[in-house]
Amino acid sequence: MLTFSRGLETPGIAMRSNLTPADAGLKTEPAEAPVQPVRRLRIMMIENDRADAALALREVRRAGFAFQADIVQTQKELNRRLDLDSYDVILSDYRLEGWTGIDALAQVRQRGIDIPFIMVTGSLGEESAVECMRQGASDYIVKEHLSRLPLALARAVEENSVRKARVRAEAVLRLTLEALQAAANGIVIADRSGTIVWVNAACGALTGYSPDELIGHNPRIFKSGRHDESFYRELWTTITNGGVWRGEVVNRRKNGSLYTEEMTITSVRDAHGGITNFIAVKQDITERKQTEDQIREWNARLEQRVAERTAELARANLKLESEVVERKMAEEALDRLQQQSVLILNAAADGIFRVDLDGKCQFVNHAAAHMLGYEPGDLIGQHLHTLIRHRLPDGLPCSWDECGIHQALALGVSRKSEGHIVQRKDGTSFIVDESITPVSEKDQVAGAVIMFRDVSKQKAMEKMKDEFVSVVSHELRTPLTAIRAALGLLAADDTAGRPARARRLLEIAINNAKRLVHLVNDILDDARLDSAHVSLARRVCTAAELIQQAVDLMRPMAESANVRLKAEAGPVELTVDPDAILQTLTNLLSNAIKFSPRGSIVCVEARQEEENGVFRVIDQGPGIPPEKQQTIFRRFQPVDASDSRRRGGTGLGLSICRRIVRHHGGGIWVESRPGRGSTFVFTVPLGQPGTEPPDRRRRKDDDVSPFY
Ligand code: ADP
């Protein structure tokens, strides 16, 4: 602060030693006072009269001012000097040549230069003096009282200095205020009682209150209720003790919404150290808090996700481990299964091969290797068809194209062949029945499994049986037929006049011969039908003609049993072996007549039902108990053995019927209730093509069995 009131100690402007302050009538500081650095006062003297100028400056010098003065006489010079230099004070005569001190003053002020301007004039009327002051002169001195000049000069310089300092201070204050106003942080200034005295614009934006609504109020207006009293007490204690309080506060806006601010409260002290004000700087950190909360939440979520993922991974790991264990167990189970399968396959009596798409052996069981006379290892990778020198049943070589293995692989369908001939390692042969099944992998044929059975012995047995049948048929049946015929002739000869006993014996012999012939025929038929290779001599015929023939054949028997035969046939056309079907019908009719009470009716009928020809033989006999209705179709299974013998059965009739029907692809059964008669039913599929076997014609012409 500049003070000229007590002396001329303008900072940087010192008195020269050759001019004492006493000369100027001014008080001086004690001699031992520190001498300030000398700065010359820069004086502009506007004066046309040099003598007057010297006089004035002498007064100044006498007052102890060190100075450097420039004398200016014209306006032009004034401007030039103002351009070149800066001055601490301008002394100007009022009356100048061609212009006035007022002009000079105006010129200086026009240029916006704020330096003390003292008018020094010979005489100045009151009006002129007022005008000078009005124009901004700092003072005016009448030349007659030049001794006042130093004091006026000192005062003007000091006042100017003070004013400039104030202007500077005001500018700083303005800037500060503007800065505070423009600050992004809310700023609240309160007095020491806590009453708000100033707020900036940001505070308004932050709280929603206008400055008018805040100034004069207490900051408790912002209270949100989120903090307890101890919180505010601690804050107040801190700042009233002169400390700085820093913290986060949840406040309430004017509109009721809450926000979080970071607040710093500083106390302001006066020159005596007493607290005069508090300045609170507030920053809205709601967003930051939200962001922090969000980040915390994200972190928590992330951690949760990580934990979940870790748990998932752990679970996946466990699953994987258990899957590995399971897979291992499955593999072991598969291994065991494979071993078991191999054991089973090796234990099988039939030969089993598996071949790849090229027909090369991939697997062979022990039975197959044994049958062919190889070690299993010798057969792996071998082309089976070539190795076994496959031949057809007639002994001719079987080409690869004809081979069932090739067909199964090429067409993807199962094949069966019977009686084919294969060769062992040692060159001997045997006959096989085989079934070949293609094996698919991913819907593609990948190979085939061949199962075969050595049927050489079976074939030999069949051959033996055929030979036996042939022998029996010729060696037993022929003499029996002759015996029966002879006995018949004997019985027919009435002229012999035999005694009654002889006639009875003859009758017994004839009956037994008949039974024997019947039994032999049945045994032969049964044996022949037992073979899987029965060939049927199929041809087209109608059910009506078959029924009619059967009825015609059985009529004598029916008449002697006093049973009426009734035939009913629909328009059914069949492709069957007529002799075989006729034999079936006569067997059933024979049984029906045998078991019918005298005077009853046996009905035989045929009709088409769906794709079958259906035959029924219906009697009014004793019926068959349910538990016997299945067994009677087996050999020698009468319902009642003594009754059957009495009625003269062989025990093979129904068994033969079943075989015939089955060879035709049909079925046979009985529908019966004891005491309510029996209905024997058999079906024959319609329209089956057939071939005529050569030996069947021979049997048809046989005189012993007209029924095949
Ligand atoms: P059998 O030569 O003894 O008649 P079958 O095989 O023809 O032999 O018949 C087997 C058994 O079925 C007969 O013994 C008889 O007990 C019974 N049976 C067959 N047909 C009839 C029928 N129509 N009524 C009652 N029982 C019957």
User: How many whole angstroms separate alpha carbon 121 and alpha carbon 146?
Assistant: 10
The residue ranking higher by pLDDT, 694 or 389, is 389
Which pLDDT does position 320 carry in this prediction?
84
Please give the sequence-ordered ranges of beta strands (E in DSSP) within 270-350, or none if there are none. Answer: 275-284
Strand partners, 527: none
Which pLDDT does position 548 carry in this prediction?
95
For residue 360, give the amino acid letter.
K
pLDDT in tens, 564-591: 999 999 999 999 999 999 999 999 999 9
Which pLDDT does position 533 carry in this prediction?
61
Q: Can you tell me the mean pLDDT for 397-416?
A: 91
Ligand 1 neighbour 656 (Cβ under 6 A): no
Q: Can you tell me the mean pLDDT for 63-69?
A: 90
pLDDT band at 21 (very low <50, low <70, confident <90, very high): very low
Strand partners, 568: 605
Mean per-residue pLDDT over the chain, rounded: 84
Contact predicate 344/367, CB 8 Å: no
Tell how far the Cα of 638 is from the centroid of ligand 1, in angstroms.
Answer: 6
Ligand 1 neighbour 219 (Cβ under 6 A): no
Which pLDDT does position 633 carry in this prediction?
93
Which pLDDT does position 10 carry in this prediction?
41
User: How many whole angstroms separate alpha carbon 521 and alpha carbon 590?
Assistant: 15
pLDDT band at 180 (very low <50, low <70, confident <90, very high): confident
One-character DSSP codes across 510-572: HHHHHHHHHHHHHHHHHHHHHSTTPPPB-EEEEHHHHHHHHHHHHHHHHHHTT-EEEEEE-S-
Under the phi-then-psi rule, with left for phi > 0, alpha for psi from -120 to 50, and beta for the rest, what region is 606? beta
User: How many whole angstroms separate alpha carbon 639 and alpha carbon 670?
Assistant: 13
pLDDT in tens, 282-309: 988 888 888 888 888 888 888 888 888 8
**SS3 (DSSP) at 444:** strand
- 370-373: list long-range contacts, CB under 8 Å, 24+ apart: 371/424, 371/430, 371/452, 371/454, 372/422, 372/424, 372/425, 373/424, 373/425, 373/426, 373/428
Tell how far the Cα of 623 is from the centroid of ligand 1, in angstroms.
Answer: 10
Q: Quick one: tokens of 530?
A: 């037992």
- Please report how many Cα atoms fall inside a 13 Å half-sphere around the Cα of residue 706, on the Cβ side: 7
Residue 689: exposure state from Cβ atoms within 10 A (0-12, 13-18, ≥19): exposed
Tell how far the Cα of 680 is from the centroid of ligand 1, in angstroms.
Answer: 11
| Weakest-pLDDT range from 397-401, 520-524, 595-599 | 520-524
The two counts, helices (H) then strands (E), for the chain are 21, 22
User: How many whole angstroms separate alpha carbon 363 and alpha carbon 360?
Assistant: 9
Q: Please report the atom of ligand 1 found closest to the CA of residue 622.
A: 25
User: How many whole angstroms separate alpha carbon 351 and alpha carbon 455?
Assistant: 12
Cβ of 41: how many Cβ atoms within 10 Å? 22
Contact predicate 66/15, CB 8 Å: yes
CA angle 530, 587, 520 (to 5 degrees): 55
Q: Name the helix (H) or strand (E) containing 695.
A: helix 694-700
User: How many whole angstroms separate alpha carbon 588 and alpha carbon 658?
Assistant: 11
Which pLDDT does position 698 carry in this prediction?
31
Q: Can you tell me the mean pLDDT for 533-553?
A: 90
Tell how far the Cα of 600 is from the centroid of ligand 1, in angstroms.
Answer: 17
The residue ranking higher by pLDDT, 590 or 695, is 590
Ligand 1 neighbour 654 (Cβ under 6 A): yes
Ligand 1 neighbour 671 (Cβ under 6 A): no
Q: Can you tell me the mean pLDDT for 180-187?
A: 86
| Weakest-pLDDT range from 341-345, 384-388, 423-427 | 341-345
Which pLDDT does position 270 carry in this prediction?
87
β 89-93/444-454 pair status: unpaired
User: How many whole angstroms separate alpha carbon 392 and alpha carbon 417?
Assistant: 9
**Does residue 34 have a pLDDT over 60?**
no
Ligand 1 neighbour 650 (Cβ under 6 A): yes
CA angle 611, 616, 619 (to 5 degrees): 170
**Does residue 38 have a pLDDT over 60?**
no
Contact predicate 613/543, CB 8 Å: yes
**Does residue 85 have a pLDDT over 60?**
yes
